[in-house]
């Protein structure tokens, strides 16, 4: 009888431990679900806010053509391979060129990552634009546009841009225009979504998260990764000149120094 009682006691303790563990697991699962649902709602709310704010000033090329006093057309960079633009980047460039030809602005401003000689987004962007007939002295570049936020931050705070038309694909355009508005720019956007792109579903998911990140950045306004350092590749300078401690857009003859060659 003593042995059976002991065995029953041990079994009872085991059941209590198991039940306690199961309760713990259940609590963790419930908390995870609550956090997941709350996080999902927050992400959705931010995305709705970003898209809703920017959508009001997303224009067609015909509508953009009617704008006046646009400082520059900002073309945002993306991947290049062996000096060849990706489909997305090519479509951004040709859209920017089209807007330039329509007279939307006298300055086509290429912003992307050109920190390394073997990877030069803005150099490729400028080359393609010039091949399509845009004069060299109409193209300015910033090779320190390492992200969407950095590109807009530097355009506003370093180059003194006040009114701009931003060019990128539609899924990306909402965030870019939103950031620009929060930086105090009079910002408009024109979509470069000319075709279907490989990996678009992944890009959409990534963009949903990026909107949350830049929504927060627009509230705290951190410095760009390269700060306000002027990008000067070898043997190039700038058409943007220092004025009152800031760089401002203005036109100079082609023989003058410029930011991008």
Q: What is the pLDDT of residues 106-132, one digit of tens each?
A: 999 999 999 887 889 999 999 999 999
Q: How far apart are CA 209 and CA 260, in angstroms?
A: 32
pLDDT on residue 244: 35
For residue 11, the model assigns a pLDDT of 66
**Percent of the chain topping pLDDT 90:** 63
What is the rounded distance in angstroms from the CA atom of residue 245 to the CA atom of residue 249? 13
Confidence check: pLDDT of 258 > 60: no
Domains with residue ranges and CATH for the chain: 56-248 (3.40.50.620)
State the pairing for strand pair 139-142/108-111.
Answer: parallel
The yes-or-no verdict on residue 4 having pLDDT over 60 is no
- Tell me, letter by letter, the H, E, C secondary structure of 58-81: EECHHHHCCCCCCCEEEEECCCEE
Q: How confident is the model over 75-118, as pLDDT tens digits?
A: 999 999 988 999 999 999 999 999 999 999 999 999 999 988 78
pLDDT for 117 equals: 79
Q: What is the residue whose two structure tokens read 């990140």?
A: 213
pLDDT for the residue numbered 189: 98
Distance linking the first and last C-alpha atoms of the chain: 96
Check residue 31 and give its pLDDT.
Answer: 83
Rg (C-alpha) for the chain, rounded Å, is 26
> Largest alpha-carbon pair distance within the chain?
106
Stretch 139-165: mean pLDDT? 96
Q: Does the pLDDT of residue 213 top 70, yes or no?
A: yes
- Better-scored residue on pLDDT, 222 or 75: 75
Residue 2, pLDDT above cutoff 90 = no
pLDDT band at residue 37 under the 50/70/90 scheme = confident
The CB-side HSE value for 26 (13 A sphere, CA atoms) comes to: 6
Residue 237 has a pLDDT of: 34
Instruction: Please tell me the predicted confidence (pLDDT) of residue 12.
Output: 66
Determine the pLDDT at residue 192: 98
Whole-number average pLDDT of the chain: 85
Residue partners of 42: CB distance under 8 A and separation at least 6:
212
């Amino acid at each position: 009888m003593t042995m059976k009682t002991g065995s029953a006691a041990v079994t009872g303790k085991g059941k209590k431990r198991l039940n306690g563990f199961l309760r713990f697991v259940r609590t963790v699962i419930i908390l995870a679900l609550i956090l997941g649902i709350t996080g999902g709602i927050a992400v959705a709310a931010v995305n709705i806010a970003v898209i809703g704010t920017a959508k009001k000033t997303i224009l067609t090329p015909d509508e953009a053509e009617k704008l006046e006093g646009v400082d520059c057309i900002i073309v945002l960079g993306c991947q290049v391979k062996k000096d060849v633009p990706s489909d997305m980047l090519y479509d951004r460039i040709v859209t920017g060129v089209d807007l330039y030809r329509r007279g939307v602005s006298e300055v086509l401003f290429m912003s992307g990552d050109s920190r390394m000689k073997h990877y030069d987004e803005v150099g490729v962007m400028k080359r393609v634009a010039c091949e399509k007939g845009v004069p060299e002295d109409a193209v300015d570049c910033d090779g320190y546009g390492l992200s969407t936020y950095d590109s807009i931050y530097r355009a506003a705070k370093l180059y003194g841009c006040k009114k701009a038309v931003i060019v990128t694909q539609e899924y990306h355009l909402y965030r870019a225009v939103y950031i620009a508005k929060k930086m105090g720019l009079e910002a408009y956007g024109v979509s470069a979504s000319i075709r279907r792109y490989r990996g678009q579903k992944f890009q959409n998911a990534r963009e949903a998260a990026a909107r949350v990140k830049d929504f927060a950045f627009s509230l705290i306004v951190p410095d760009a990764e390269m700060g306000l350092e002027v990008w000067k590749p070898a043997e190039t300078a700038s058409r943007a000149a220092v004025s009152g401690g800031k760089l401002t857009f203005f036109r100079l003859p082609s023989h003058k120094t410029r930011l991008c060659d």
